[in-house]
């Protein structure tokens, strides 16, 4: 019976809930092959951290670093001594996948990035004594730019600012999270910091997509409503000041040309970083969900073997549980029209600034406009 292999009731953090989809179904929809930690505890256990030596620390940073080390260990994170985090046989190169926490003032020529094997597979966290610079400015764009300047100067993906009353986590993807220094420190490390270190945002490669250059014809009638909405709404977003815009590489300061090249390589040599984008999902022709009995009649041949999903005739069928009712859904293809990275979202030229992304059979496609 298919009903026996639908997602079942599981225990959440302090509550009961029903999984809507099985883990296998989600991974097949998204085309994920590797294991993925799905709870805070699993994230903690997957994390390996080392502390970068050699910096001069203030008394405040000494105390904070010790508290952070203890909180990470209590959360189940593996703490590696720096020498044990090095590549076997290498005097100074760190292993991939190890998070490097670097407190204090970092020295040019001996930054953590000088010792990593692969910047894309290594997260570097700077810890700075002093208030978050975003606290000193009112404008949202200026707040973001002040954080990005610190990230770029130290070539780190995450920075923690520590002052008397607060410690603030800021990340390369625009998050700014302020926490009380004398609050629930261990809980905040477990629930807020660890997920950002164990599941970092990494810019994708073009090889991660099925790219079709010049395949998007925006003159087609099916796109006209969406194109008009993009052009008109961009101007409205600009007036509100709520949508953050492009931070260019040229506006940032680097210690030397070498570090600027490293930052450019990490960003796939884009001209800067965009925070926020506009997107509209296109109307999706989807078939209605089926009851278990209907699925067994209409589809036939479903035998999920306890997985909650099955590929049949090159289509993916998944089991869904809603309000304790078991249903079967054929997963539709999904398309999203969206702004490209780095465009001026307040003045959109559809034929230059819009791209079409689709998710089909676990693969993401990317279509660019003609011309």
In this prediction, residue 323 carries a pLDDT of: 79
Q: pLDDT digit string (tens) for 310-366?
A: 999 889 999 998 877 889 999 999 999 999 877 878 888 999 999 999 999 999 999
Q: Convert the pLDDT of each residue in 308-323 to its tens digit.
A: 899 998 899 999 988 7
How far is the C-alpha of 49 from the C-alpha of 239, rounded, in Å?
Answer: 43
| Residue from 128, 164, 163, 119 nearest 147 by CA | 128
> In the prediction, which pLDDT does 239 show?
82
* pLDDT above 60: residue 31: yes
pLDDT-derived band of residue 9, with 50, 70 and 90 as boundaries? very low
Chain-centroid distance, C-alpha 120: 13
Q: How far apart are the first and last CA of the chain?
A: 53
pLDDT at 40 over 60: yes
Percent of the chain with pLDDT over 90: 48
Domains by residue range for the chain, with CATH: 40-198 (3.40.50)
C-alpha distances (whole Å) from 226 to each of 213, 232, 244, 280, 299 are 20, 10, 21, 7, 35
Taking 50 as the threshold, does the pLDDT of residue 14 lie above it?
Answer: no
- Report how far residue 6's alpha carbon sits from residue 2's, in angstroms, rounded to the nearest whole number: 7
Mean of pLDDT values over 143-171: 90
Task: Take residue 291 and report the two structure tokens written for it.
Answer: 């009851």
Report pLDDT digits (tens) over 240-277: 877 766 667 777 778 888 878 877 776 655 655 656 78
Is the CB of residue 10 less than 8 Å from the CB of residue 17? yes
pLDDT score, position 250:
73
**Contact by Cβ (8 Å): 370, 300:** no
pLDDT tens-digit series, residues 51-88: 999 778 999 999 999 999 999 999 999 999 999 999 99
Kindly report, residue by residue over 166-222, the tens digit of the pLDDT: 999 998 777 899 999 988 999 999 999 999 999 887 767 778 899 999 999 999 999
């Amino acid at each position: 019976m298919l009903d026996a292999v639908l997602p079942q009731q599981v225990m959440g953090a302090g509550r009961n809930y029903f999984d809507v989809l099985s883990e296998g179904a989600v991974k097949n929809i998204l085309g994920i092959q590797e294991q993925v930690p799905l709870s805070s505890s699993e994230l903690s256990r997957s994390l390996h951290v080392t502390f970068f030596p050699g910096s001069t620390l203030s008394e405040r940073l000494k105390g904070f670093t010790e508290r952070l080390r203890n909180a990470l260990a209590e959360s189940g994170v593996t703490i590696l001594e720096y020498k044990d985090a090095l590549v076997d046989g290498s005097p100074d190169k760190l292993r991939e996948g190890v998070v490097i926490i670097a407190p204090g003032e970092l020295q040019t020529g001996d930054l953590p990035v000088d010792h990593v094997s692969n910047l894309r597979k290594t997260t570097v966290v700077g810890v700075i004594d002093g208030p978050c610079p975003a606290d000193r400015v009112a404008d949202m764009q200026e707040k973001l730019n002040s954080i990005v300047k610190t990230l770029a100067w130290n070539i780190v993906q995450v920075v923690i600012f520590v002052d008397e009353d607060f410690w603030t986590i800021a990340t390369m993807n625009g998050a700014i999270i302020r926490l009380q220094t004398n609050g629930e420190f261990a809980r905040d490390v477990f629930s807020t910091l660890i997920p950002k270190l164990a599941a970092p945002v990494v810019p994708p490669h073009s090889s991660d997509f099925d790219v079709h250059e010049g395949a998007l014809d925006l003159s087609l009638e099916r796109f006209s409503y969406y194109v008009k909405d993009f052009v008109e709404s961009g101007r409205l977003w600009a007036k509100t000041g709520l949508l953050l815009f492009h931070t260019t590489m040229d506006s940032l300061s680097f210690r030397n040309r070498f570090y600027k090249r490293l930052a450019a390589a990490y960003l796939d040599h884009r001209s800067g970083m965009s925070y926020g984008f506009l997107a509209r999902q296109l109307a999706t022709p989807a078939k209605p969900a089926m009851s278990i009995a209907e699925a067994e009649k209409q589809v036939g041949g479903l035998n999920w073997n306890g997985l909650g999903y099955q590929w049949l005739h090159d289509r993916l069928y998944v089991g869904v549980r809603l309000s304790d009712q078991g249903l079967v859904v054929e997963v539709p293809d999904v398309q999203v029209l969206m702004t490209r990275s780095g465009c001026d979202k307040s003045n959109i030229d559809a034929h230059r600034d819009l791209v079409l992304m689709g998710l089909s059979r676990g693969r993401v496609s990317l279509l660019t406009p003609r011309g």
